[in-house]
Amino acid sequence: MLDIDPKGDIDIALDARLLHTLPGANYDAVYCSHNLEHYHRHDGLAVLRGMHHVLKSDGFLEVRVPDVGEVMRLAIQNQLDLDDVLYQSSMGPILLRDVLWGCHAEIERSGRDYYAHKTGFTLKSLVEFVSPIGFPIHASRQANLEIAVIFFKQSPTEEQTRLLGLKFPT
């Protein structure tokens, strides 16, 4: 596991923008959960290029990000203001502003701006952002205000398709 914060049970303490400094083609998969939105767009491109670099040729990348399109739809539908509760989590109430710009309580408590969200995605914008880096094939799902996409460097093997429970249009 890689994290910028050296606390916790991690294998590599590294800013993901520096993934390109790791040996190439070493990993079968990269799981990027609620991280990509913490980078400005140009830095996100560096992160993605680094992920592509560390993956084996038949490797894949799973990206999970907040579904900003669905968040905006709910905000309009329910006439939410920025400090209104969007949903309840195990950590407590999540405000609309937390999904858009990062968990304000954690940012204020820690003083670390890497907890802030610096961009956001819809399914379309995420696919258009990631695919040109060298991930031409993807499978996606949207649920619970989250987008999850598995990107492949090449056509997935039958085993990957089966193990990941993927369905591709025929």
Mean residue pLDDT of the chain comes to 94
Separation of alpha carbons 61 and 64, rounded Å:
10
Q: Are β-strands 12-13 and 2-3 bridged in parallel, bridged antiparallel, or unpaired? A: parallel
Q: Is the model's pLDDT at 102 over the cut of 90?
A: yes
The fold of 2-65+113-164 is Rossmann fold (3.40.50)
Which tokens go with 70?
């669905």
Above pLDDT 90, what percent of the chain? 86
pLDDT of residue 30: 97
- How do the domains of the chain map onto residue ranges? 2-65+113-164
pLDDT given for residue 10 in this prediction: 86
Determine contact, residues 159/138, Cβ cutoff 8 Å. no
User: By percentage, how much of the chain surpasses pLDDT 70?
Assistant: 98
Which bin fits 124, alpha (ψ -120 to 50), beta or left (φ > 0)? Answer: alpha
pTM of the model: 0.93
How sure is the predictor about 91, in pLDDT bands with cuts at 50, 70 and 90? confident
CB 15 within 8 A of CB 5: no
Q: Which of 88-92, 102-106, 121-125 has maximum average pLDDT? A: 121-125
7-49 pLDDT, tens digit per residue, is 888 889 899 999 999 999 999 999 999 999 999 999 999 999 9
Mean pLDDT of 141-170: 91
Mean pLDDT along residues 115-127: 97
pLDDT bin (cut points 50, 70, 90) of residue 170 is low
Under 8 Å between Cβ of 156 and 56: no
Instruction: Give the strands of the sheet with 137-143, arranged side by side.
Output: 27-33, 55-66, 146-152, 137-143
* Predicted pLDDT of residue 26: 96
